[in-house]
Amino acid sequence: MLTPTICLMDVEVPRLAAAALPGQFLIVRARPEGERIPLTICDYDRSKGTVTIVTQIVGASSRMICALEEGECFTDVVGPLGRPSDFVELPVAELRGRRYLFVAGGLGTAPVYPQAKYLHERGAKVDVIVGAKTADLLILRKEMAAVCDHLYICTDDGSEGHHGLVTEKIKLLLEAGETYDQAVAIGPMIMMKFVTLTLKDSGIPLVVSLNTIMVDGTGMCGGCRITVGGKVRFACVEGPEFDGYAVDFDEALRRQTLYRPQEQEADHKCKIGRN
């Protein structure tokens, strides 16, 4: 348990670990009667045949996942799914000369980690801004610091690092003359929206990950439909990463609330021991 509500797991899935790349995700089902839950791959170890996932308890299904003990099994695991990050297609020589800015909000730190690690290992310059409500909710600090050139912590209450939002830290870096070839934002939808607005006039290309709106992960349910550049796209099969400046964030924010009543009912049943 990284925090009282955030759990990190290494999952033994050799074939998945052999194929996983930064930016992709997997789907787990904790029990036969449980729903399919998409989770971004936080790390992978090809030699051990494992992938790492990080789950926050927010409802019934995430509670089932975090209740599993060491040595137990998921009912099933599917992956890797989604398109890898675009930079995996770039030659190492080109990555070596590039500079990246990652902005991670809350649990978004987990999917940022494998991307920063991949780039750092190939000689790219990587700066990471991590934001959380309070220092107690920060995760993977030591791991992230080991795979980036500069790690900037922001907390809403000022308990660690910069006292304020990640967008304020972005402005401070730009005002100080820092330049980047690419920015990546992963975290709550509202955070990604305001990171996009903050960087809009900077001239820095921005990628955002829409992993939070995925449901079945295959494009069949339509729950991850999103408008990007005026066209309907499916986050689970065409993403989850898209050009941040082209995403209709207001539509995405509305979509996230569609099943809230059902989620609350299911979580209540899970807490009192009913499935």
pLDDT for 270 equals 53
Domain ranges of the chain: 6-81, 86-255
How would CATH label the architecture of 6-81? Beta Barrel (2.40)
- For 86-255, give the CATH class: alpha beta
Q: What are phi and psi of 266, to 5 degrees?
A: -65, -40
pLDDT for 275 equals 47
C-alpha–C-alpha distance, residues 58 and 3, integer Å: 13
C-alpha–C-alpha distance, residues 89 and 95, integer Å: 10
* Cβ 164 vs Cβ 83: under 8 Å: no
C-alpha–C-alpha distance, residues 95 and 149, integer Å: 15
Q: How many residues can be counted in the chain?
A: 275
Burial of 27 (0-12, 13-18, 19+ CB in 10 A): buried
C-alpha–C-alpha distance, residues 110 and 8, integer Å: 9
Per the DSSP assignment, residues forming a β-bridge with 101 are: 127, 183
* Cβ 205 vs Cβ 183: under 8 Å: yes
Return the DSSP state at 85: P
Classify 4 as helix, strand or coil. coil
Beta strands in the chain (DSSP E): 6-12, 25-29, 37-40, 43-45, 50-56, 76-81, 99-105, 125-132, 150-155, 162-163, 182-186, 206-209, 225-228, 231-234, 241-243
Mean pLDDT by 10 residues, the chain (275 residues): 93 96 92 86 95 91 91 93 93 94 94 96 97 93 96 96 96 96 95 96 94 69 81 85 92 70 52 53
Residues 6+ apart with CB under 8 A from 167: 194, 195, 197, 198
